[in-house]
Amino acid sequence: MSSTEPTPGLVVQNLPAKLRLSDYKLIAFDMDSTLINIECIDEIADAVGRKAEVAAITEAAMRGEITDFKDSLRRRLALLQGVTVADLEGVKTQRLRLNPGAAALVAACQKAGLKVLLVSGGFTYFAEHVCALLAIDFMRSNALEIEGGALTGGLIQQSWGEICDGAEKRRTLLEVASLMNIRPEQCIAMGDGANDLPMMGAAGLSVAYHAKPAVRAQAQVAINEGGLDRLLEVLAD
């Protein structure tokens, strides 16, 4: 199937016809600005009056203008030193919301037999909450270092590494696929920023959601208007 826009705001390119959701076994989601409505790090920065500064770095990283995601994350984290756990809780309860169609798409995937992976360059503090809301099977994200009830500006080293960047997102997708004994072609990867491109490139189906221009251009499905569940217009079972 060549590039088409079957309905406004939904672009499909280079896909074979008549794909079904049940053709896949795993769907991997980015979290910030994909499954949820905010970039958590920007909202955390708002608590210390540094949102504009941090958001500018986030935007440049997501557009691919800053190519070293790890460096950009460390720069932003350093600006968050002293943010309290109460501030994090405020972001989680007052600002974080699931994006439209997130629950419907995840439920449809689960009904069709897919496992669900959340893989994020964001933070476990929020990712665990999202996984609980949606009954997500697998998660990988960055763990904020907290001492005395406040952020240190660093991250906790985990068994797989310290920072979940684009390369780690791809590796995680392939690792989970291997654990499930499925092929990468049986995976869907969905994201919005440049650090999602490696895992999107490894998956059998790549989906951009309200994404940056470079991501929309490379995705097989681009949802530019409406909710996440618009993927079901392409993969109806």
Tell me which residues are annotated as active site. 30, 32
Buried b / exposed e along 10-26 (16+ C-beta atoms within 10 A): bbbeebeeebebebbbb
Place of tokens 């697998």: 138
Q: What Cα–Cα distance (Å) separates residue 141 from each residue in 9, 56, 128, 131, 220?
A: 30, 22, 9, 11, 25
Looking at this protein, which amino acid is placed at residue 106? V
Mutual orientation of helices 102-111 and 124-134 as an angle, nearest 10°?
A: 60
Question: Are 212 and 193 a contacting pair, CB within 8 Å?
Answer: yes
47 has which bridge partners? none
Nearest to 128 by CA among 140, 144, 112: 140
Residues contacting residue 223 through CB under 8 Å, at least 6 positions apart: 9, 10, 207, 208, 209, 210, 230, 231
